[in-house]
Structure 1
Amino acid sequence: MDQSRRFLLTMGEIQRHKVLTELLEGKIKATEVSELLGLSYVHISRLKKKMKECGIEGLLKRSRSSPNMIPEAKAKVIAGLYEDTYYDFNILHFKDKLEENHKIKLSYESTRKILISFGLHHPKKKKKVYRRRRRMPKAGMLVQMDSSQHQWIEDIPTKWWLIAMIDDATSEIPYARFFPSDTVFANMQMIRRFIEIKGLFTALYVDRASHFETTRHGGLHYNVSPEQDETQIERALKELGITIITANSPQAKGRIEVSFRLFQDRLIKEMRLAGIKDYDEANRFLLDKFLPWRNKRYTIEAESSYTPLPHRINLDTIFCKKIERIAANDNTISVNGQVIQIPPNKTRFSFAKAKVTVCILSDDQILVLYKGSIICESMLLKENKTLKKEQKIEELLSHRDYVLVGSKI
């Protein structure tokens, strides 16, 4: 072998060459070489063939390359791209963009070493890795839902909420959306759209925000009476047969938080590169570009347990705010200080003293139900002072700055 290339050999390769030379000379058996080197008999046969054909060079690992494999000029181009355009990307994200946008294909480690050599990356101490709970065996058994308030668009200082839902078994995120505030209707819209896309699922994992779980009674809650023991979302999911699992339960944790780290890292930077300037554009980019890419990369296959939504179910009468009313003698009811007249119909001429259910939809439409059937439709008046007060209260609650029961203010 050429004298100038001896530095490429490791001590392991020198030892391997020594033993295989004795094998070729018939001094030891292949089974003995296998035991000495800790390699399979088949692999020993391959090495023996390479030794015969190429000599000691046949033992060199093909993956080994010269330290100067990446030219300095190319490394400078890569470092320049990082400084000028991808300055806030992590290494994996930057590596992907080099390949996608600049046709530069590098390994993660090569990319990392280039950035370190130019002082553009400083290795951090690795955090402790915690064991993650095992996935559910079937898709549709458990869906995780969470929201994150962040400055998603660099040019808009106002922080918006991103709400997302992920299947625990597959890690698929069929739907996610930006909202100006984390309200009851925003979360209802998310759950409804998820069901329309995938079907009914078994359980929903959520945090303990006030719109998911009644942690206090009375006070500032929307239409919460002292005896109320469930929220509007709990009630809606109960009507669909879906169980709520709250954050203090061990059944489901982790996967949605990992996804939000990806959103806060990659999504923000991808929207900056795409020139996104407002949240209408951001929602289109999220649904049309980012989620398809993310699902293709991170979703795994699993048997499905989703069930189709029965045709008889009207989601308008489920994903709404429901309140009970008793009709007055003149067939009227009061909703947030607004009087609504119930007209007679084929089933009943008068609804005096009848118990009816009022459904308030996200667009302020009112549906009045009697025994599950719609008997009246109306609209909430925009100048309704009670409504404005309730909306202000809900906006305050969406900030999630709660006071613990028994604490002093």
Structure 2
Amino acid sequence: MAKRGVTVSSPTIIARAKNLGCYQPHPRKKTHDREVITTAVGALIQHDASHHRWSPYAKERWVLITFIDDFSRKLLYADFFEQESTWAHIKAAQSVMLTYGIPLRYYVDSLRVFRFVQGRDSVWRKHVLQTDEADPQWRQVMRVLGVDVAYALSPAAKGKVERPYRWLQDRIVRTCAIEKITTIDDVR
């Protein structure tokens, strides 16, 4: 048609093809529903940590470890640590479990503290163990307690626990600035 100087828009061609029964729309890709849905309090606890300069007067950055109940969205735990370590996460989990009981499942990211992920560090190193063939200490503690662990595939998948960080960063940083807090003990 273009060779003969006839111009027809794409919607017109599609409409005529539909009328003649010749049009087949492109199949839509299936979407993955990765949202975790819970039905009761304590069924799923989302666990995360945030590295941030919580006080403008502090010389170093601190780590805020938080736990949120997925069903009620209640902030179960929040505490500051000088550095993120396996022991800090185990102590935080212990505090939550002693206060609220043992949850059915934890929802965490693929940080080295929570999950053994082999092959992401170096392409030059020969890997003996593959992902999840070895359990980090935190995972061993959860296994002994009978707590199932689910891993988020991306940071966006943990939106429920990430959202409060915006609020916390805003409020805590302002409070630390107003009160001129310089130590982690003062911010607690």
> Which residue does the alignment assign to 1:248?
153
- The 5 A counterparts of 1:22-101 are none
State the AA in 2 paired with 1:245.
Answer: A
- The 5 A counterparts of 1:1-400 are 133=35, 136-216=38-118, 226=128, 229-248=134-153, 253-283=158-188
Count of matched residue pairs: 145
> Which residue does the alignment assign to 2:10?
none
> Which residue does the alignment assign to 1:344?
none
Q: Deviations over 1:279-302 (max 9, x none)?
A: 10111xxxxxxxxxxxxxxxxxxx
| TM-fit CA distance, 1:157 | 3.1
Q: Indicate the structure (1 or 2) with the bigger Cα radius of gyration.
A: 1
Give % identity: 27
- Which of structures 1 and 2 has the larger relative contact order (alpha carbons within 8 angstroms, sep 6+)? 2
CA distance in 2, matches of 1:247, 1:256: 11
CA distance in 2, matches of 1:161, 1:203: 23
CA distance in 2, matches of 1:135, 1:269: 34
Q: Deviations over 1:211-230 (max 9, x none)?
A: 1100028x9xxxxx955521
Q: Deviations over 1:215-272 (max 9, x none)?
A: 028x9xxxxx9555211111110111111111118xx631110011111112211232
Q: Which runs of 5+ in 1 are unaligned?
A: 1-131, 220-224, 284-409
Q: Which runs of 5+ in 2 are unaligned?
A: 1-33, 122-126
| TM-fit CA distance, 1:184 | 0.5
State whether residues 44 and 104 of structure 2, in contact with CA within 8 Å, keep that contact through their aligned partners in structure 1: yes
State whether residues 110 and 152 of structure 2, in contact with CA within 8 Å, keep that contact through their aligned partners in structure 1: yes
State the AA in 1 paired with 2:82.
Answer: P
CA distance in 2, matches of 1:238, 1:172: 25
| TM-fit CA distance, 1:185 | 0.3
State whether residues 57 and 180 of structure 2, in contact with CA within 8 Å, keep that contact through their aligned partners in structure 1: no
| TM-fit CA distance, 1:135 | 5.0
| TM-fit CA distance, 1:181 | 1.0
Q: Deviations over 1:280-332 (max 9, x none)?
A: 0111xxxxxxxxxxxxxxxxxxxxxxxxxxxxxxxxxxxxxxxxxxxxxxxxx
CA distance in 2, matches of 1:178, 1:134: 27
Q: CA RMSD in A?
A: 2.5
CA distance in 2, matches of 1:170, 1:274: 32
- Structure-2 change in CA distance of 1:214 and 1:240 (3 Å): same
Q: Deviations over 1:143-188 (max 9, x none)?
A: 0011111110111131111111110111111221111111110111
State whether residues 82 and 184 of structure 2, in contact with CA within 8 Å, keep that contact through their aligned partners in structure 1: no
CA distance in 1, matches of 2:50, 2:80: 9
Would you tell me which structure has more helix in proportion to its own residues? 1
> Which residue does the alignment assign to 1:90?
none
Q: Deviations over 1:67-103 (max 9, x none)?
A: xxxxxxxxxxxxxxxxxxxxxxxxxxxxxxxxxxxxx
| TM-fit CA distance, 1:195 | 0.3
CA distance in 2, matches of 1:142, 1:278: 33
- TM-score, length-scaled by structure 2: 0.70
| TM-fit CA distance, 1:192 | 0.6
CA distance in 2, matches of 1:171, 1:241: 23
CA distance in 2, matches of 1:274, 1:138: 39
State whether residues 55 and 176 of structure 2, in contact with CA within 8 Å, keep that contact through their aligned partners in structure 1: yes
State the AA in 1 paired with 2:153.
Answer: N
Give SS of 1:156's match. coil
